[in-house]
Structure 1
Amino acid sequence: MVARARLPRNLFVTAGSGTAAATILACVGSMAGDLFRTLGTVSLLAGLGAAAGVLVRYGVLRGRAVRTADELRQRHERAEAEWAARKATFERQETDRVDALPEWGTVSPGPDARRVDVVGGNLWGWEALLTVCGTSLLATRGPMVMVDLSGEAVSRELLRVAAANGLTVDLLLLPDELADSDLLVGLTPRQLVDSLVESIHSGQPSTELAGRLMDDRILTAVCAALGEHISMARLAAALRVLMNEPGDTPELTPEERRHVADRLFGDDYRRHAHQHLSRLESFVEPLAPLGTRRDARPAAALTCLALATGGRTVRAELLDDLVVQWLIRRIAHGPTRPGSLVVAGADDLPARHVERLGDLCERRGVRLVLLHRHLRGPVVQAIGAGTVGFMRLGNHEEARHAADFVGREHRFVLSQLTRTLGGNETHTVADTEGASETEGHGTGWGTSDGTGRGGGRGSTPTTWSRNRGWNLSESANWSVTRNWSRTRSLADGTNWSDAESRQRVYEYAVEPRTFQELPDYALILVRRDDDGATVVPTECNPDLVTLPRVGMGPLPSPPEVTGPAVGGPTAAAPLPAASPLPLTAAPPARPPRQRPPS
């Protein structure tokens, strides 16, 4: 490019100089002789030869530039081909590596989590969660007790999976199979009285101490009169005898009937306690089949107590409290303790009983999992003792409570992004050529003539003089001025800037709307540790186990990737913690294109 730009000037200088010298010498030689004409011819030939040399050198330089450009192009093409091969190899290796990584893994509630509360969701989501979570608990923690209070048998798929894998399953449907239940097996009269009193007064405040004491005294006296063999049917018959209700009592022997009627309480006390007797009888009568079984049910890997499918009944509500009392006794005093305890539908359980159950499970190393349909009332106060999982919460108030539980945090969000790319290029070529010629000629001539006479007074003589002059002058001047100049300037500049600004805001870590839009099988797990709350999105679809890239352990944390950043210098870019496909290396850098020499 430079040689091409200088070619006209070089030709003009060489050929013009030779031609000008030859012309001058030829003009001089026309007056002075052949020597100057010969010198002029030589000067002309020298100028033409120099111009020819300039053309030859330009051709040589042009050929060299073309060859260099071809070599650079071929080198760049080879580099591009090598880069494409390296890129294909890198992509193939990354694809093979990623295909070998598990895409799905397990989520742990935390190493020290003894209790897990799951809030929200529907029955389909509960069934999937119990299947996935229950099979994991059975495989890792051993025997499990499952209490299904949903009334829709959300545990049936877990039972099928456990039975299909050779585990022993013990299913008891309540209240249809009350006669075959062992909720009262092994209870002393004192323990039975405590369980009944707590069940009857479960929804009442603790200030109702007088009523609790009255019921405790009546039941204690009746159980002592009935002896060791106590069932709900015999207890209901004894209460009817105390109230002087007509009818036969085949559940009691004649001696037991006379003892209860004549010796247990006086007439005044029975009249005063008639309201309590009526309430106790109304509570015990629906549970008459309970206590028929005298021995405990066989031990099983999965023990399930489920409410039969149907609407909410009085017997079902009474059984909820009795089941909780049975669980407390089994965890506290049972000969064998389960590895995990799962209660589906714990919304209506008394808060103090749930707290007591949670304390027992924590002290004895039993994993407690509670499933609540709604986040309201006592559930809002009960969650937080361990890990909490949130499924879909359709109600906006419940979603707000969930967002408040996760908490707020300070974040720096991008508020403005400015990018500027500019460039300037200036190319200036200026040629100046000038010539001036001046010729002057001047001629002047002049004539002077004068006459003079003189004389004195008183004398006769007279003088006379005359002079004449002429002058001629001629001048000539000639000058030639010529100037030539060429100016070339080149400027090339590029400027680039990338700026961003961030604003500090205080907002929800998880927005309430997120909880309202969760899919059926999605779960947001909130784990508490020393650094605060950790939010882990989780999927509990049982079909995931059929996928080819499923691991039975937690996914490893993705490493930080250090590679060339787009549009800037090299920077470290950490991947999101939930990404199942971490990268370990940056792709090969593309070779820079080289510019050929000018």
Structure 2
Amino acid sequence: MTAETDRESWRRHFAEILVSGDPAEVDAATEAAVAATAVGADWAAANAAGKAAGKRFRAGTAKAGDARSAGGPSQDGRAKVWADDPAGREVAWPRQLATRLFATPERWGWQAAPGPLQVSEPAEPEPAPRPEWVEPPRPDTSALRVARSSAVTSLTVSVVVAVLAYTAYRSFQTKLEATVDEFGAETMKVYQVAVILAAAALGLYVVRRAAGVGKAVRDIRTFEIPHRAMLVVEKRRYREAVQAWEAAVRRFSAAAAESEQAATRQANGPQWFPVRPAVEPIRVDVVGGDPRRHGWASLLVTVGTSVLSARRQVTLLDFTGQDVGGGLLRVAEASGRVVRVADFDDGAGADLLASVPSQELPGCLARVMTGGDGGDKRQERALLTDVLRVVLECLGGDVSFARLAAGVRVLRQGTGDGLLSDAEVSSLVGRVAEVDQNEWTSRQLRFLASSLNTLQGFSSTGPRPPWGDGAVSLVITPGRRDDAKDLLDRMLVQLAQRAMERGGLRGVLAVAGADRLGAEDLGVLSDHARRAGVLLMLMIDQPQGDLEKTVGTGGVVCVMKMYNHRDANVAAEFVGRGYRFVVNQVTRQVGKSFTDSGGDSFAATTSQSGGTHRRRRYGWVSGTDISNSRGHTWTGTRGWQTGDSIGVSTASSRVYEFVVEPQQILGMPETAFLLVDNSGHGRRVVMADGNPGICLLDRVATVPADQ
């Protein structure tokens, strides 16, 4: 491998593991690793040298950033924000994030605002066109009008005749009366009666014709009564339809205006809303995450600053070796808060035994040696506890892992390697008989001594305990996977449990890479945190095995991006399933019937009648009438009847589907997460983003979207 290829390999490596992503920091770490490799260092030593150089670079730029004013933040909303100044490219994002994150209320992330509203689609449907008045069809009164016209004509004729008769009578009245008077008084009387009768007949004729006209008019009016009633009803319905249309127009206009106002408010309103659980949980499980741990680092910055704003402490046990807590540490430093770092990866660890009382030390170390999933280990734990108690009783006040390992070797009939005094060796030799000398016990003691020696390599005379009273305490262990790291991780967990019991660890305890500890140890840690009132945040990469059964027991789960399909299915199952009704069967039945019937009949009738009559006309006349009648009737009938019947039936079933599909979890952004909140009443699932750079945007709300 050439030097240039080696350099590029280290550059890619540090670009992946350094959370800040600062090219200058990556270059500093790369040069240190290449220099260490050039002098013969192995990969682990070169990696440690590169990480140390990166930390020194961060410390130097942070001090320089405090001494000089940084430029303005970028407007892209990302967590990595850079500023340029005359001295070169400075890392300014911790100061910028600290200014905004510590000024906003509590939040775990941000929820994106809903999409833009469609102004053209208000809630109320668009009304139809204005109703138009259509005159109902008038009834056919043509026959009645013809009858009325005939009656009017007859009345006119009768009136004309009466007028003419009266005129003629008045014209010839004198002559007529003179002529009649010649025939005597009797004739005059007959004349007068005749005139009266003629006048009465003529008047009756006119009256009857007038009555015919009135009857024709009444017939027309009577025939039009239903039409007039229907016309009144239709006019009332038309007025009601117009009123309903006007009301619909007003509602549509109001809905359209409200929709437009809502769209305007949304267009000008916040684009991000803070998200937090309804009630503070007792445990938070962060499941999934990208391999570079950018998602975990972003979530820690967002949640951690929210906790720090409430004047609470944050303690992070970083078991990933990928600097998950570096972002939170730098933001807290930029805000002027006290931070504390115990990095066991570069040898600047802590005294792992100083904070454990001697009476609790045997049980604590026994738990460390037998931790993890792997069956019932109570017998091994009991043996190790007894052995360590014997060793502690024989040792003086100076207790270290190396001296404990030497004491265990003495019980195995070995030597103290110069770490024990003669009196201590004699005391231990005198108690060798208390330990069974069989193969199983010998293996357990050998394992105990080896493990104690391993822990001695991590223990130092540094600050004790690994965490302190500062706002942020960061404990970092190596990122490799071996027995030594597992022992160190479990030892730190035991120390955290005892610190919570005594009140030395408060606020929030976050464990990154907690799935390596096992479900049993995490359950014990959760019980200690619950009793101590400490919020426990467990960051689990893959919720498999017994861990799957314990996820969500604290009330809140943050599901982040998954890369394995099985893990995505587990996460989708935890989020839950919704149900809906689906038509799964449609039955159509069609029937047709036809009936044909017919018949005929014939009838014949014959009748005869006769009679005699007499009448008088110019004498008596008699006659006889005879009539015969015959009739034939033939009737034929034919009937057809057809019928069609169509029946359609549907059957629906209740189906359950994922609320969030596994493929959606596989395709989530690195900093996005699903907040599954069971802490309050009910259960809610919210899609949020933990990228702390969102706080640098302009349109970020300070209250949740549902408030």
Shorter chain as normaliser: what TM range? 0.5 to 0.7
Q: Does 1:318 align with 2:487?
A: yes
Please, which of 430, 437, 449 is the counterpart of residue 263 of structure 1?
Answer: 430
Q: CA-to-partner distance for each residue in 1:88-143, whole Å, 9 max, x for gaps?
A: 99899767744653321221123142211111111121121112122112223511
Please, which of 511, 523, 548 is the counterpart of residue 380 of structure 1?
Answer: 548
TM-score where L is the length of structure 1: 0.59
* Contact preservation (8 Å) 2:295, 2:670: yes
Q: Identify if the C-alpha distance between structure 1 residues 134 and 363 changes in structure 2 by more than 3 Å, giving closer, same or farther.
A: same
CA distance in 1, matches of 2:435, 2:695: 69
Q: Identify if the C-alpha distance between structure 1 residues 355 and 255 changes in structure 2 by more than 3 Å, giving closer, same or farther.
A: same
Q: Which runs of 5+ in 2 are unaligned?
A: 1-253, 585-650
Residue 424 of structure 1 aligns with which residue? none
Q: Identify if the C-alpha distance between structure 1 residues 189 and 402 changes in structure 2 by more than 3 Å, giving closer, same or farther.
A: same
SS at match of 1:341: strand
Please, which of 512, 532, 535 is the counterpart of residue 364 of structure 1?
Answer: 532
Residue 187 of structure 1 aligns with which residue? 356
CA distance in 2, matches of 1:252, 1:294: 25
Number of aligned positions between the proteins: 386
Residue 665 of structure 2 aligns with which residue? 515
Q: Identify if the C-alpha distance between structure 1 residues 121 and 298 changes in structure 2 by more than 3 Å, giving closer, same or farther.
A: closer
CA distance in 2, matches of 1:361, 1:367: 7
Q: CA-to-partner distance for each residue in 1:514-556, whole Å, 9 max, x for gaps?
A: 1111111111111126765311000112221110011333223
Please, which of 522, 528, 547 is the counterpart of residue 354 of structure 1?
Answer: 522
Let me know the Cα RMSD of the aligned residues: 3.3
Alpha-carbon shift at residue 356 of structure 1 (Å): 2.1
Alpha-carbon shift at residue 317 of structure 1 (Å): 1.1
Q: Identify if the C-alpha distance between structure 1 residues 394 and 100 changes in structure 2 by more than 3 Å, giving closer, same or farther.
A: same
CA distance in 1, matches of 2:331, 2:322: 18
Q: Identify if the C-alpha distance between structure 1 residues 214 and 381 changes in structure 2 by more than 3 Å, giving closer, same or farther.
A: same
* Contact preservation (8 Å) 1:103, 1:549: yes
Q: Which amino acid aligns with 1:509?
A: V
Q: Which amino acid aligns with 2:350?
A: S
CA distance in 1, matches of 2:561, 2:700: 25
Please, which of 363, 366, 373 is the counterpart of residue 197 of structure 1?
Answer: 366
Q: Which amino acid aligns with 2:431?
A: L
CA distance in 2, matches of 1:355, 1:207: 15
Please, which of 333, 336, 341 is the counterpart of residue 171 of structure 1?
Answer: 341
Residue 228 of structure 2 aligns with which residue? none
CA distance in 1, matches of 2:265, 2:434: 86
Please, which of 307, 315, 321 is the counterpart of residue 151 of structure 1?
Answer: 321
Q: Which amino acid aligns with 2:565?
A: H
Q: Does 1:209 align with 2:209?
A: no
CA distance in 1, matches of 2:438, 2:652: 78
Alpha-carbon shift at residue 212 of structure 1 (Å): 2.3
CA distance in 1, matches of 2:529, 2:289: 25
Identity over aligned pairs, percent: 33
Q: Which amino acid aligns with 2:301?
A: T
Q: Which amino acid aligns with 1:534?
A: R
TM-score where L is the length of structure 2: 0.50
Q: Identify if the C-alpha distance between structure 1 residues 528 and 90 changes in structure 2 by more than 3 Å, giving closer, same or farther.
A: closer
Q: Identify if the C-alpha distance between structure 1 residues 530 and 188 changes in structure 2 by more than 3 Å, giving closer, same or farther.
A: closer
* Contact preservation (8 Å) 1:236, 1:288: no
* Contact preservation (8 Å) 1:189, 1:224: no
Residue 125 of structure 1 aligns with which residue? 295
Alpha-carbon shift at residue 144 of structure 1 (Å): 1.1
Q: How does 1:416-565 map to 2 (within 5 A)?
A: 505-528=655-678, 532-557=682-707
Q: Identify if the C-alpha distance between structure 1 residues 403 and 537 changes in structure 2 by more than 3 Å, giving closer, same or farther.
A: same
Please, which of 301, 304, 308 is the counterpart of residue 134 of structure 1?
Answer: 304
More helix by share: 2
* Contact preservation (8 Å) 2:288, 2:561: yes
CA distance in 1, matches of 2:516, 2:365: 17
Q: Does 1:404 align with 2:573?
A: yes
* Contact preservation (8 Å) 2:355, 2:495: no
CA distance in 2, matches of 1:373, 1:534: 23
CA distance in 2, matches of 1:128, 1:274: 48
Q: CA-to-partner distance for each residue in 1:253-285, whole Å, 9 max, x for gaps?
A: 23223332x322139845664322211111111
Q: Does 1:108 align with 2:258?
A: no
Q: Identify if the C-alpha distance between structure 1 residues 227 and 294 changes in structure 2 by more than 3 Å, giving closer, same or farther.
A: farther
* Contact preservation (8 Å) 2:416, 2:425: no
CA distance in 2, matches of 1:527, 1:294: 38
SS at match of 2:308: helix
More strand by share: 1
Q: Which amino acid aligns with 2:306?
A: S
CA distance in 2, matches of 1:503, 1:215: 60
Q: Which amino acid aligns with 1:227?
A: G
Q: Identify if the C-alpha distance between structure 1 residues 189 and 294 changes in structure 2 by more than 3 Å, giving closer, same or farther.
A: farther
Please, which of 390, 397, 420 is the counterpart of residue 559 of structure 2?
Answer: 390
* Contact preservation (8 Å) 2:281, 2:679: no
Q: Which amino acid aligns with 2:430?
A: R
SS at match of 1:507: strand
* Contact preservation (8 Å) 1:109, 1:116: no
SS at match of 1:370: strand
Q: Which amino acid aligns with 1:390?
A: V
Residue 281 of structure 1 aligns with which residue? 449
SS at match of 1:166: coil
Q: Identify if the C-alpha distance between structure 1 residues 239 and 359 changes in structure 2 by more than 3 Å, giving closer, same or farther.
A: closer
CA distance in 1, matches of 2:341, 2:361: 23
Q: Identify if the C-alpha distance between structure 1 residues 390 and 141 changes in structure 2 by more than 3 Å, giving closer, same or farther.
A: farther
SS at match of 1:506: strand
CA distance in 1, matches of 2:259, 2:573: 44
* Contact preservation (8 Å) 2:510, 2:538: yes
Q: Identify if the C-alpha distance between structure 1 residues 96 and 319 changes in structure 2 by more than 3 Å, giving closer, same or farther.
A: same
CA distance in 2, matches of 1:506, 1:395: 23
* Contact preservation (8 Å) 2:350, 2:463: no
Q: Does 1:329 align with 2:329?
A: no
Q: Identify if the C-alpha distance between structure 1 residues 531 and 218 changes in structure 2 by more than 3 Å, giving closer, same or farther.
A: closer
Q: Identify if the C-alpha distance between structure 1 residues 126 and 186 changes in structure 2 by more than 3 Å, giving closer, same or farther.
A: closer
* Contact preservation (8 Å) 1:239, 1:281: yes
Q: Identify if the C-alpha distance between structure 1 residues 529 and 214 changes in structure 2 by more than 3 Å, giving closer, same or farther.
A: closer
Q: Which runs of 5+ in 1 are unaligned?
A: 1-85, 416-500, 558-598
Alpha-carbon shift at residue 220 of structure 1 (Å): 0.6
CA distance in 2, matches of 1:357, 1:268: 31
Residue 344 of structure 1 aligns with which residue? 512
Q: Identify if the C-alpha distance between structure 1 residues 361 and 204 changes in structure 2 by more than 3 Å, giving closer, same or farther.
A: closer
Alpha-carbon shift at residue 189 of structure 1 (Å): 2.2
CA distance in 2, matches of 1:146, 1:405: 26
